[in-house]
Structure 1
Amino acid sequence: MTGPSTPYDPPTGPIPVIHRDDHLLVVDKPEGLLSVPGRGEHLADCLIARLAVDWPEVLLCHRLDRDTSGIMIFALTKEAQRNMGRMFEVKRVKKRYIARVWGEVAETSGTIDLPLIVDWENRPLQHVNHERGKPSVTDWQRVAHEDGTTRMRLMPRTGRSHQLRVHMQSMGHPILGDPFYASGAAQDFPRMMLHAERLKFEHPVTGTVMRLEVPCPF
């Protein structure tokens, strides 16, 4: 399966800051903007480059796909970056996403446990591979049916590339507007309907429990 090549036309405008202190910068990433630079000068414009204009010391902690919107954590010190990286690694950062998917999901909740690996012939796509894939687990809850689609709450336990997108496709309910994993009418939407809504974690320096949320724009 190959996804279409979509031109890179990132949105303009200011990046909303959700939280800032001496160690962390948390922002609301718009859909259509890369988290980090891609290959080639035409993919140089990205979230971290824009943030570096005002915060030259900004450091990456994790990523969101280009077409996913929502909450992202950046570090402003090496200590904060190191500690946040460790928390992501040992799964102490709790994430919640909102998605709209194709079709009406019958069940109210469930868990998808399907190992994922890169599809080398179709990079950057991922696919399920029970022999060589890395463990990938997503908890989900149905929120509502909406005109033949379903609004979902997704809580990934692992952080594999394209995890939520492949897991929803594996259910037979691809995320609306997904340029890689949806097809036909499910792809015919103005954006990919996936939004990182909430993060819960301990502050990497002070230890304070942080609960940060960005309302879903769709």
Structure 2
Amino acid sequence: MNAIPILFEDGEALIIDKPAGLPIERPRAGGACLEDRAHELRLGFQRSPVPVHRLDTDTSGCLLLARNPKALKRFSAAFEARAVEKVYLGVVAGVLADAEGTIELALSKISSAEHGWRMIPARKGKPSLTHWRKLDERGGLTLVEFRPETGRTHQIRVHAASGLGAALFGDPVYGAARNGMRTMLHARMLSIAREGKPPVAATSPLPADFAALGFALPDSVA
């Protein structure tokens, strides 16, 4: 089992490069999750670090962990206050006419016995805002940079499908599942300012499965 890469470390926080396919919480059906790897992430501390936010199981990249209760409270408040800079990369199934834009679609949760739960655009839903720009096109697919201002469940997935009109490649809920392919979403960068201290910040490299589709990051992407 490969070690989980550490992108940032200090006395308050870790940012790990979460592998695609690793759930943060234990699935209802059982199986491995991040908690099983917590001992690897103590790095000399008595407490295991705790996730401050969530990434979907398929989503790879920057995940912030707090190393003590005070840090957890402070970082959680920063997420609530939208004081966290987040950048995601996604591969969408389709070619986009525009080079960049902003998607503002309120989201609401629905569920049914047949299909389970999902998020949908809804006039009375929770306000949700995502900025995006096109980075590259290959074979009918587009590499897109997403900068969400809000942090709703499945926000980028729904905004891609309903706002761009092009679902994330491999998304089995809002697009079309692909054999052996995950939902192609990657948490590229995360940054939180701290008073009197350097920010907690990290950048995750482009995943191998993005590169396997022929994509590379342009020089304009930090």
State if a TM-score over 0.5 links the two structures: yes
Residues 24-173 of structure 1: pairs in structure 2 closer than 5 A? 24-40=13-29, 42-43=30-31, 45-55=32-42, 56-121=47-112, 122-131=115-124, 133-170=125-162, 171-173=164-166
Runs of at least 4 residues off by over 4 Å: none
Q: Is the 8 A contact 1:48 1:58 kept in 2?
A: no
Q: 1:80 to 1:142 in 2, by over 3 A?
A: same
Q: Secondary structure at the match of 1:120?
A: strand
Q: TM-score, normalised by structure 1?
A: 0.86
The match for 1:213 is 203
Contact 2:13 2:64 in 1 (8 A): yes
CA distance in 2, matches of 1:206, 1:16: 27
Q: Describe the superposition over 1:1-37 as per-residue Cα deviations: whole angstroms up to 9, x where unpaired.
A: xxxxxxxxxxx42111111111111100001110122
1:153 alignment partner, SS class: strand
TM-score (norm 2): 0.85
What do residues 59-107 of structure 1 show as CA deviations (whole Å, max 9, x unaligned)? Answer: 2200100000000000001111000000000001010000110110110
* Equivalent in the alignment of 2:8: 19
Aligned length: 201
SS in 1 for 2:64: strand
The 2-side partners of 1:164 and 1:54 are apart by 28
What CA distance in whole angstroms lies between the structure 1 residues aligned with 2:4 and 2:22? 11
Q: Distance in 2 between matches of 1:92 and 1:172?
A: 29
AA at the equivalent of 2:91: R
Share of identical aligned residues, percent? 34
Conserved 8 A contact 2:8-2:201: no
What is the letter of the counterpart of residue 127 of structure 2? P
Q: How far does residue 175 in structure 1 lie from its aligned partner after superposition?
A: 0.3
1:27/1:71 contact within 8 Å kept: yes
- Aligned counterparts of 1:187 and 1:167: Cα–Cα separation in 2: 20
Gapped runs of 5+ residues in structure 2? 211-222
Shift of 1:210: 3.5
- Separation (CA, whole Å) in 2 of partners of 1:110 and 1:189: 31
- Contact 2:13–2:200 (Cα < 8 Å) also in 1: no
Cα distance in 2, alignment partners of residues 64 and 148 from structure 1: 27
Note if contact 1:176-1:189 (Cα within 8 Å) is conserved in structure 2. no
> Structure 1 regions of 5+ residues with no counterpart?
1-11
2:130 is aligned with what amino acid?
Answer: T
Amino acid at match of 1:142: K
Please tell me whether the aligned partners of residues 8 and 200 of structure 2 are also in contact (alpha carbons under 8 angstroms).
no
1:48/1:60 contact within 8 Å kept: no
